[in-house]
């Protein structure tokens, strides 16, 4: 059957309490690095400029929208759209776009490195900031796993949303399998994830859904203050909970009875 979402979360919180300062510090470094990669990618391909111009257009039209008739509102929205740069303007910056894609891809091995850090923390192993660099040691395997996962999930989503979600759940353990054994190839990691997740996809879906209010709260805080402050706690919390879920799927898993009884 496996542990409930509540028990998995309790185990994750137990790990957080044990090394709260170190875990939050590495989470902060991970979030800042990932945010900087995203920002730099957006600067190079023009996305950030597009967003800034959009916000300026909306701010300039705010007073008109407050008292506008339906016809005037339609004209305001048409003016906003007309004032935005076209898709072709992005395409002209070929070098920037290529460099942007290369930089954005760096977030994949960074995420794998963070998964490595979290999995080691969940097992009580010693870990440092350098554990974030692990993903770059298996960068090509991580990129192939990400590409194939995106392709499979995308193909499933073309027809209906449900097949895409099922595919995402089925392949969700691939990165942790790679972290556990870097000698394995991308295809083997995907196959083993599908095998481990057989009969457990609904459990993982419920576990992920149980964080919905955390995600909404984190998004609201980020919107209000412009800083993903809540994510510094939420990121390790969710990653640790998934690590506990993953460990239960392994044949040699033996649960630590301590955290489980801490209701």
- If you search the block for the tokens 């995106």, which residue do you land on? 150
Q: Tens digit of pLDDT for each residue in 209-232?
A: 999 999 999 999 988 887 888 999
The pair of three-digit structure tokens given for residue 245, joined into one six-digit string: 């879920």
Q: Tens digit of pLDDT for each residue in 192-209?
A: 999 999 999 999 999 999
Average pLDDT for residues 142-149, to the nearest whole number?
95
Q: Which helix (H) or strand (E) holds 228?
A: none
Q: Tens digit of pLDDT for each residue in 16-37?
A: 999 999 999 999 999 999 888 8
Which of 239 and 159 is assigned the larger pLDDT? 239
Return contacts of 36-42, CB within 8 angstroms, 24+ apart: 37/103, 37/104, 37/106, 37/107, 37/110, 38/104, 38/107, 40/100, 40/103, 41/100, 41/101, 41/103, 41/104, 42/100
Mean pLDDT (the chain) is 83
Burial class of residue 210, CB neighbours in 10 A (0-12, 13-18, 19+): middle
Q: Is residue 10 a contact partner of residue 262, using CB atoms and an 8 Å limit?
A: yes
261: pLDDT confidence band, cut at 50, 70 and 90? very low
Burial class of residue 35, CB neighbours in 10 A (0-12, 13-18, 19+): middle
pTM of the model: 0.78
262: pLDDT confidence band, cut at 50, 70 and 90? very low
């Amino acid at each position: 059957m496996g542990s409930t979402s509540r028990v998995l979360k309790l185990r994750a919180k137990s790990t957080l309490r044990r090394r709260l300062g170190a875990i939050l510090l590495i989470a902060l470094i991970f979030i800042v690095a990932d945010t900087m990669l995203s920002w730099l990618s957006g600067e190079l391909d023009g996305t950030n400029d597009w967003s800034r111009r959009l916000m300026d257009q909306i701010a300039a039209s705010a007073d008109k929208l407050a008292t506008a008739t339906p016809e005037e509102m339609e004209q305001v929205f048409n003016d906003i759209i007309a004032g935005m740069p076209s898709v072709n303007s992005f395409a002209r910056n070929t070098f920037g776009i290529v460099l942007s894609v290369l930089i954005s891809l760096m977030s994949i091995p960074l995420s794998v490195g963070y998964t490595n850090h979290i999995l080691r923390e969940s097992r009580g192993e010693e870990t440092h900031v350098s554990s974030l660099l692990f993903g770059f040691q298996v960068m090509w395997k991580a990129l192939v796993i990400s590409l194939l996962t995106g392709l499979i999930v995308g193909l499933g989503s073309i027809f209906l949303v449900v097949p895409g979600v099922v595919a995402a759940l089925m392949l969700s353990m691939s990165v942790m399998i790679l972290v556990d054994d870097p000698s394995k190839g991308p295809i083997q990691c995907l196959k083993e994830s599908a095998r481990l997740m057989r009969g457990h996809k609904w459990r993982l879906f419920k576990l992920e859904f149980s964080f919905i209010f955390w995600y909404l709260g984190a998004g609201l805080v980020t919107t209000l203050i412009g800083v993903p402050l809540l994510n510094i706690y939420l990121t390790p919390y969710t990653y640790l909970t998934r690590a506990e879920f993953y460990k239960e799927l392994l044949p040699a898993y033996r649960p630590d009875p301590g955290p489980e009884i801490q209701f």
